[in-house]
Structure 1
Amino acid sequence: MSMEHAVLDSPIGPLTAVVSDGGLAGLYMDLQRHRPAQETFGDPAESADATPFREVAEQLKAYFAGDLTRFELPLSMRGTPFQKRVWDALQEIPYGETVSYGHLAEEIGSPTASRAVGLANGRNPISVIVPCHRVVGASGGLTGYGGGLERKRYLLDFERRVKSDSTLF
């Protein structure tokens, strides 16, 4: 298993992209809760323009420009079978919308597992692209976010603004 990483710029701060076996294995914010130790990210890439980092960077740039609402990247996420079910379900949450932890638990067929869903959500290794920021508390309020509530609010407000602007046409 060969791993490389590169740091990409974004409106929410630097994002460390980790690639393993040709797929994106991680996208971490600085000071992110549950961020693995830097030495586990493998060697630094020769350049952030190297494939596959170029595709990750291009899609993130299009996302933050409001031109991309669904990422199409090969992912190489490692986790328990339950975590992977949660992470797969996160990718089905529509752009600019939110769901509760309880709703997500029901979606994966474990209606009583909203706490476990919250824990798996918090361990999502690919921020932004696997949109864990779209999960909110039962009341609709913002709850914990590994990248900080300010970033979660930014991402949700950004997506809602882009979505509402695109419905004008």
Structure 2
Amino acid sequence: MTRLFALQADITTLAVDAIVNAANSSLLGGGGVDGAIHRAAGLELLQECRQLGGCPTGQARITGAYGLPCRHVIHTVGPVWHGGHAGEAQKLHSCYTHCLDLAAQHGLKTLAFPCISTGVYGYPKEAAAEIALQAVRAHPALGQLDEIMFCCFSPTDLAIYQRLI
């Protein structure tokens, strides 16, 4: 049975099979968790991401992790919040689904998610956490993973995930 849990940490320090990057569609780095992951991984990550040609919202791509303590980075592009009437929930759900698809395809056992779309993309934190947990719990490959962690940067995010888990 897969263990789901939340922790407050810097996702770039986690020694797991893969961390998820809340990326922008270029996959070339940015602010927030995306910038932190690119800085910690080094230029090799940027070079590999350049070869991928970007990623549409709701999709995911996998790369090496380079200078990070994990083995892979799964990059996903979450939706920008536009009030909830522009398909944001479906796109966010799709992010988690595609990340778990890649994890299963690559035989990964431990995966760490950040709070996708809740930073500069403005998705309401509680609603995003509900979607994250619903998508993860419903995924057919869930039993193939040993641990899925929701890595929260703030105590507020951590409290939401702990309550919902």
TM over 0.5: no
Higher strand share: 2
Greater relative CO, 1 or 2 (CA 8 Å, sep 6+): 2
User: Under a length normalisation based on structure 1, what TM-score does the superposition of the two structures give?
Assistant: 0.27
- Normalised by the length of structure 2, the TM-score is 0.27
Task: Name the larger-Rg structure.
Answer: 1
